[in-house]
Structures are given as structure tokens and as C-alpha cells.
Chain A
Amino acid sequence: MSSETPGAGTTRSANHYVADVEETPIASIDAVDLDEKPSNLWIDAWRDLRHRPMFWISSILILFIVFVAIFPTVFTQVDPRACDLAFSNAGPAAGHPLGYTKQGCDIYSRIVHGASTSLSVGIIVILLTTIAGVVFGALAGFFGGFVDTVLSRAGDIFFSIPYILAAVVIMSVFSENRNILVIALAIGAFAWPSTARVLRSEVLRVKNADFVMAAQATGLSRMGILFKHVLPNSIAPVIVVTTLSLGAAITAEATLSFLGVGLPGQTMSWGNDISQAQRDLRTDPQVLIYPSIALTTTVLSFILLGESLRDALDPKARALR
């Protein structure tokens, strides 16, 4: 074969080629390479996230929005409820950079004060959906059988009603006492199955791993296996879904408020403001545009954070980059 290859090591017989051992040194078999820093899923994910502009931009935006929501008065001294019809749809003026709404309220101040509404609803919704989703998803996936059948079918039923439609019905019934908690409950009540489904399928994947069998064969209890091995290894996708659904929950609140079945008119809510501005869209679009930008930016921040987390935490998503 390579007999004609010139100068390539010793040639034992006419067609037996042997590479120069000096040029092809053999390493010891299966040597341990400890040059790299310790790493596991979370350490790796953090190293990955650190180099992503998308992660930093979204995190900084979210921190900023949270700060605005907690300390609105740092950003504006104007009372968002001090409205004067004399300024209806008026343009920007000194101290009122974005102008006035139809009712003559300061747009900038209303946007600043509206942040806490959107964030509170979003956070309560994901608390509800995450708790319900993790409990039901973990039980269904880990115990399987009858428990799984009952919980999964129940999830299917809740999943079969688009959660915004369900929230419309619930909010219609609660016409008297609508507040942030009620609207969050209305959204969360039908939004939990997606979290549950994600966790269930992860749990199903992890619980059949060999390391779970090894722990079981050593005598670790069922609960020990669930909490020590199965849940920690299945939680990453839930974190991704939760971040993304925070954005979706904020959108849902705004949509319900827009439809008039959300928060009462006097509550500071971007959805309400957009809804009230729609009639004057042709003549005064700025009244509608500013709260829309605030709303979209907030939702986008959570979507961007969720996407960066997905890229960092899901090895499959990493391969897709």
C-alpha cells in the first residue's frame, strides 16, 4: 500500500508501513486531564451567559424596570392621577416630557407608575404557575401510572382553554372586585399546564437515567431520589419557561385591561392607557405609542433573558446556534 510513500519511517517489508514512533508518540491510555476548570451544567451555563450581550442587556433592563417599579418617585414627582382636561392630548411641555393623555394626565408619570402593576401581575402569575406546574409535573412524571393519568388529563383539560379566554370569563364574573391578585389568579389558573408538561417530560427523562437506578440500588428512598437527583436535574427547562412566561403574563394582563376586563380604569396600567388612547389614534398616536413602547420593552426584556437562559442551559439549544 503506502510503500511508495517516501521517508515515512521504517519499512519492514515491501508493503508494511510503520510510522516513526517519534512522530506518533502514544499517550498513556485514558489519562486524566485536569487543566480545565471544574465544570457542571450551572458553572458552564454561567460561563456561557457571561459572554452574551443579550443576557446583559436584558438583565440590566429588567433590573432597571424593577427599580422603576419599586421607586417610581425617583423618576417623576408628577402625580399620575392629577389630571386636567384642559391639557387633553396636549403635546410635551416643561416637566411633562411625553405630553398628556385624553384625560389630561401626564403620560410619563403614568408609564413610570404603571411599571409596578405589570411586574406584580407577572410575578404573581409565575409564582402560581411555577408552584402548581412543579408540583403537578413532578408528581405526574415521577410516580407515573394512575397519578400521571389523572394529572395529565386534568392538565390537558386546562390546556384546552386558551388561558386568556378563560381569564376573560373569570374576570367577567369578578366584575366587582378586580385587583392585581384576582387578575393574576385568573391568568395563572389556566396557564400552569405548560410548566407542568415541561417538568413532567424532564422528570420522565431523568428518572430512567442509570444514576437514578444506581442510587435506588444503593437504597436511597423514593423521596431522596426525587429531591436529590431527579428534581435538580430537571429544573433547568422550568427556569427557562418561567422567564418566558413572565413576559407572556405581562402581555396577558395588558390584553385583559385593554379588553376592559382587566384592572379598573383608575388603576395605573399600561393596558388601560393603551385602551383609552385607541379612539384618538388617528389624531394623537403618541398617546398610544409611549405606553406601548414601555409594555413591549418590558416583555422583550424577559423574552430575551429567557432565550439567553435557554441557549445556556439547554445543550440542544446550544447545538442550534
Chain B
Amino acid sequence: MAYYVIRRLLQAIPVLLGTTFLIYFMVFAMPGNPILALFGDRSPNPALLERLEAQYKFNEPFIVQYLNYLGNIVRGDFGISFSGQSVNDILARTFPVTLKLAVIAIVIEMIIALSVGLVSGLRKGGIFDASALIVSLLLISVPIFVLCFVAQFFVAVQLGWASPTVGADTSLPRLFLPAIVLALFVVATAIRLTRSSVIETASADFVRTAFSKGLSRRRVIPVHILRNSLIPVTTQLGADFGLLIVGATVTEGIFNVPGVGNTLYQAIIRGERPTVVSFVTVMVLFYLVVNILIDLLYAVLDPRIRYVK
């Protein structure tokens, strides 16, 4: 297990270097004064300009600039935003909100995916399975912002079951609607994957052997079928996390949830590029960390991975 953890962490290093380099390259390798380019057609405040110059060291060669930027990231300093605020301060305020939203969304997603996927898989070809398929494909096809508006309009405006925007109060009930929307946005692939792995596992030899030992269906389904199906579903969760990040950005923006996604959303809409770059970097790092955690979870779930010498 220790070997696996170390190997996974070592593998993350080139990816970390590569991703940060790519982001930096995309923004700053363009010709012209990159700082002025960052501001587009907006006129910068001279004091901010100076601080950005200091942050990015544009007089140095490109590679030095990049190493400097990387050094800042490694130290946990994500620079300053367009308005001159420290990104770290903004993160401290917004990150807990986003984390809360994401966790609720993932919990809802897992509950829906596992229950719907399990029933679909065990009754493959039935009416429930067919309806679940149609709903999943529809959910895959609806863009997140349309989903948000549909929820906002029907659930909040028409039915009045929730507030259309969240605002400063981020208590659980208020976050519930955006969390459900976010969960629905990512749930379809998870349902489909649960279903297919349940079908596959249910016809596995060891399930038949479990029945032949005299175990009841009530025991075989959770202990042998669902438990084994968790492995591919969990791995998929990592890959889908990118979707969740994009989804969170749009959802937080539309529902006005004061989280990291909303900050990025506002920055994109207003064209505040230094903030965009900082927050995209933050999100990519978050994505990397989550994927490492999921790989470790994978090792916990699958002893074949865990016990590699």
C-alpha cells in the first residue's frame, strides 16, 4: 500500500509541472506586454500594474518567469486578483462554500447513481431500466446552464420551493437546489456505469458461487454485486470531477452561490483575466488532488491494487 501511495504521489509531480506550465504558457507566451494583454481593453490601475509586474517578473526570461510562478504556487501563494485582493484571502472565504456544495452534490449523485443503477442492472430490459436510460441520455444532453435555468424557473420561480439565488446565507437548505442541479448534471454517466458494472458483476462466476454456498439474495446483492460495482464507479468519479468543476462554476454563477466557482464565473463574465488565470490554476490543482485521493480510495476498495509489492 505504501509503495502504491508513493508511486501515485510521484506520478502527480510531472502532471503538476505540466499543467501549470500549460496554463502559464497559454496566457503569457503571447507576444506584447502580457500584463496589458491581461487587462484587455480595460485600463489598469498603476499600483496594481506594479504589483503584477513584481508577481510575474516579466523582465526575466520566460523559463524564469514560469519557475517563479511555480514557486509561488508551491508556496501556496496564488497571487493577486484584478481588484488587488489576495487570491488566498478570496479562497479562504469561498472555498468552504464550494466544498460544501460539491460534497452535497456528490452525495446526492452517489445515492441516485447507485440506487437507480442497481435496480436498472438487476432488472435489465425492464420498464424502469428503459426509463432510466431515457432520462440519463436526456441529462447528458442538457447543457448545465439550461439545467440551472430550468430548475431556477420551475422549482424556484414557478413553484416557489426554493430561493432562486443563494446569496450570503449558505446554510444547507439554501444550497440544496444548486446541489441537486449539479448532481443531476453529473449523475447520468454514473448511473450508466453502475448499471453496466452491476450487470457484469451479477453474471460473474463468483456471484454464482456465492449463491451455491447457500447465501441469500439479500446478502449477495450488497456484499458481492454492489460492493464490486463500486470499484469502476469510484474511478469514474475522478474522471467526472472535471465536469463537476465546470458545472460548479456555472451553477454557482447562476444561483449566486458565494463560492470559488462564482468568483471564477464573475471574473470570466467581467473579463478580469488575472483572476481567471489564478482561479483556473486553483481548480486544476484541486482536480489533481481529488484524483489522487480517488486513486487512493480505489486502492482501499480493490485489494488487488493494495497488495502489489
A interface residues (Cβ-Cβ under 8 A, vs B): 153-154, 156-158, 160-166, 168-170, 172-173, 175, 247, 251, 254-255, 258-261, 271, 274-275, 278, 281-282, 285, 288, 292, 295-296, 299-300, 303-304, 307, 317, 319-321
User: Which of A161, A259, A317 has the largest count of B CB atoms less than 10 A from its CB?
Assistant: A161
Partner of B146, one of A173, A247, A295: A295
Given the complex, which residues of A lie within 8 Å of B15, measured CB to CB? Answer: 153, 156-157, 160
Given the complex, which residues of A lie within 8 Å of B152, measured CB to CB? Answer: 281
Given the complex, which residues of A lie within 8 Å of B143, measured CB to CB? Answer: 251, 254-255, 258, 271, 292, 295-296, 299
The 8 residue pairs across chains A and B that have the minimum distance between CB atoms: A157-B18, A162-B242, A300-B141, A299-B141, A292-B146, A164-B246, A251-B143, A160-B19
Partner of A255, one of B125, B145, B149, B245: B145
**Interface presence of B293 (CB below 8 A):** no
Given the complex, which residues of B lie within 8 Å of A247, measured CB to CB? Answer: 140-141
**B residues 33-55 in Cβ contact with A at 8 Å:** 37, 40-41
Chain A: CB-nearest residue to B28: A173
23 A–B contacts from the bound complex (CB under 8 Å): A153-B15, A156-B18, A161-B284, A165-B242, A165-B245, A166-B23, A169-B23, A169-B26, A173-B27, A175-B40, A251-B141, A255-B250, A259-B268, A260-B271, A271-B143, A274-B146, A275-B145, A282-B153, A285-B153, A296-B146, A303-B141, A320-B124, A320-B200
Partner of B19, one of A161, A275, A282: A161
Contact assessment for A320 and B196 in the assembled complex, using a CB-CB cutoff below 8 Å: yes
Tell me, in angstroms, the Cα distance from A158 to B27 when the chains sit together: 16
Mark each residue of chain B from 120 to 160: 1 if its CB lies under 8 Å from any CB of chain A, else 0: 00001100000000000110111111100110110001000
Tell me, in angstroms, the Cα distance from A258 to B125 when the chains sit together: 38
Instruction: Give the shortest distance, in Å, between A186 (CB) and chain B (any CB).
Output: 9
Given the complex, which residues of A lie within 8 Å of B142, measured CB to CB? Answer: 296, 299
Q: A162-B287, A168-B268, A299-B142 are in contact. List 17 more A-B contacts (CB 8 A).
A: A157-B22, A160-B15, A160-B284, A161-B284, A162-B245, A162-B283, A163-B242, A164-B246, A165-B246, A173-B273, A175-B271, A247-B141, A255-B246, A258-B143, A281-B157, A296-B146, A300-B141
Tell me, in angstroms, the Cα distance from A299 to B145 when the chains sit together: 14
B interface residues (Cβ-Cβ under 8 A, vs A): 14-15, 18-19, 22-23, 26-27, 30, 37, 40-41, 124-125, 137-138, 140-146, 149-150, 152-153, 157, 195-196, 199-200, 242-243, 245-246, 249-250, 254, 265, 268-269, 271, 273, 276-277, 280, 283-284, 287-288, 291
Partner of A160, one of B137, B276, B288: B288
User: Given contacts A255-B144, A259-B250, is CB(A169)–CB(B14) below 8 Å?
Assistant: no
Interface of chain B, main secondary structure: helix
Contact assessment for B140 and A303 in the assembled complex, using a CB-CB cutoff below 8 Å: yes
Given the complex, which residues of A lie within 8 Å of B265, measured CB to CB? Answer: 259
Given the complex, which residues of A lie within 8 Å of B23, measured CB to CB? Answer: 161, 166, 169
Partner of B268, one of A172, A278, A295: A172
Tell me, in angstroms, the Cα distance from A222 to B288 when the chains sit together: 37
Contact assessment for B243 and A157 in the assembled complex, using a CB-CB cutoff below 8 Å: no
User: Which of A259, A261, A271, A288 has the largest count of B CB atoms less than 10 A from its CB?
Assistant: A259
Given the complex, which residues of B lie within 8 Å of A165, measured CB to CB? Answer: 242, 245-246, 249, 280, 283-284
Given the complex, which residues of B lie within 8 Å of A275, measured CB to CB? Answer: 145
Contact assessment for B196 and A173 in the assembled complex, using a CB-CB cutoff below 8 Å: no
Given the complex, which residues of A lie within 8 Å of B254, measured CB to CB? Answer: 278
Given the complex, which residues of A lie within 8 Å of B268, measured CB to CB? Answer: 168, 172, 259-261
User: Which of B152, B246, B284 has the largest count of A CB atoms less than 10 A from its CB?
Assistant: B246
Instruction: Give the shortest distance, in Å, between B246 (CB) and chain A (any CB).
Output: 5
Given the complex, which residues of A lie within 8 Å of B250, measured CB to CB? Answer: 255, 258-259
Given the complex, which residues of B lie within 8 Å of A274, measured CB to CB? Answer: 145-146, 149
Given the complex, which residues of A lie within 8 Å of B277, measured CB to CB? Answer: 169
Given the complex, which residues of B lie within 8 Å of A320, measured CB to CB? Answer: 124, 195-196, 199-200
Partner of B276, one of A153, A162, A172, A299: A172
Tell me, in angstroms, the Cα distance from A169 to B273 when the chains sit together: 8
Tell me, in angstroms, the Cα distance from A163 to B146 when the chains sit together: 19
